[in-house]
Copies of this chain bind each other. A is one copy, B any other.
Amino acid sequence: MREHPSVRVQRADLRRFVQAVFQSCGVPEPQSRTAAEVLCYADENGFDTHGVANLERIYVARLQDGRVDPLAAPAIVAETPATAVLDANDGLGLVAGARAMELAMEKARQTGIGCVVVRRSSHFGSAGYYTQQAQDAGMIGMAMTNLGSQTIARPLGGSVNMIGTNPIAVSAPAGQLPPFVLDMSTTVVATGKIRAAQRRGEAIPEGWLIDDEGQPVTDPRAYDEGTGHLQMLGGALETGGAKGYGLGLMVDIFCGILSGANVGPDPMLLRPEGQQQAKEDQNIGHFFLALHVEAFCPQAEFRTRMDSMLQTLLNCPAAAPATQVVYPGYLEAMGRRDGNQVQLDGAVFEQLASLAKRLGLNELPMTREVVQS
């Protein structure tokens, strides 16, 4: 892949373009606006691996080949005062996810907490978008997703991939300071970071991949070649690998088992070659939790206490080689200061331009500004 310098585009232009792409794939206007907002959130917050870089490969491809139904509407199939199960009916995870968190928040306003799980969904972008929905309303939000039966990593000590990257996100509002936003895969890294190193021809740190004997692998190409195996958070058993493995399984239980979606550890994986079905990221499950802060303590008190805790962390003297102590969400908020612009990888911008042409969208409705590196 040629290297392109990064570019900056107007945030509103990017959202409008992405919405136009979804609409050209048959997604109705309001849903396509939601989908664009969720997808662009990732790029607006520096999670490039979960944003418009996936627009064509994941979303357009599935909308066009019928694996994702552009007209699907999420339906409530079970409900209590504080919980619900949504069936996304094979629609966009981006739309079902936003609707599910809204519903969790409505319930939290009534009962103090709301919990909504989703089945038959698809890739929902960045988990942090949904927790931010809750945070914007002064609530604590939690969001998780599994990858259906798509498998990325091995169970601890195992030799067959059985678990996805299974991310967990949590947001909590603060007062004067940027909110706490944790958005993490339960693997050591997301696979996008391995592929980025591969593109740049760089070695990866020890701890990301191991070979069949459990030895560290630093060549990122080993991942796609199947000789380097992505570790769960914590790595080996003696450095806490059972914890990352356990968190990944917890995500499959909350998102998959509870909702009726697929999960990573599927018996089909152990059938002889040829009798396995495709390990598809279909029938993905999500889990959303919204906690109404006011049910626990006054909102202002919560925010003051958050500020005190977060400011203490920011004030912590750094130890070498670090130069600054931050908390999850802080750097993203700093990077968002010019809220009108979004930085994109140059290659991703070129992909969007060629996608626009192929979809017959007259032109890429964005002016770009080349970023000096």
Contact = CB atoms under 8 A, between A and B. Distances in A.
A309 B184 CA distance: 23
B247 A182 contact: yes
Nearest to A85: B296
Contact of A115 (B78, B113, B257, B259): B113
A302 interface: yes
B155 A325 contact: yes
A318 interface: yes
A326 B246 CA distance: 10
B311 A267 contact: yes
B318 A214 contact: no
Contacts of A206: 239
A345 B82 CA distance: 45
B81 A296 contact: no
A291 interface: yes
Contact of A312 (B182, B246, B267, B318): B267
Assembly stoichiometry (copies): 2
A364 B158 CA distance: 45
A2 B316 CA distance: 41
B253 A213 contact: no
Contacts of A320: 212-214
A205 B237 CA distance: 10
Contacts of A212: 319-320
A373 to B, nearest CB: 22
Interface residues of A, number: 95
A110 B103 CA distance: 18
A316 B162 contact: yes
Contacts of A82: 81-82, 111-113
Interface in A187-240: 188-189, 205-208, 212-214, 233-235, 237-240
B112 A315 contact: no
B188 A265 contact: no
Contact of A240 (B188, B213, B301): B188
A295 B157 CA distance: 35
Contacts of A186: 243
A334 interface: no
Nearest to A266: B312
A157 B297 contact: no
Contacts of A323: 157
A23 B319 CA distance: 47
30 contacts: A78-B297, A80-B295, A81-B112, A82-B111, A83-B113, A83-B292, A117-B296, A155-B316, A157-B323, A158-B313, A158-B319, A160-B317, A182-B246, A182-B249, A189-B240, A207-B235, A212-B319, A234-B234, A234-B244, A237-B322, A249-B313, A253-B309, A256-B309, A257-B309, A258-B293, A263-B309, A265-B309, A265-B316, A266-B312, A267-B311
Interface of A: 78, 80-83, 85, 110-113, 115, 117, 140, 154-160, 162, 170, 172, 180, 182, 184, 186, 188-189, 205-208, 212-214, 233-235, 237-240, 242-247, 249-250, 252-254, 256-260, 263, 265-267, 269-270, 291-293, 295-297, 301-302, 305-306, 308-313, 315-328
Q: Which 7 A-B pairs have the closest CB atoms?
A: A157-B322, A83-B112, A80-B112, A182-B246, A207-B239, A158-B316, A159-B319
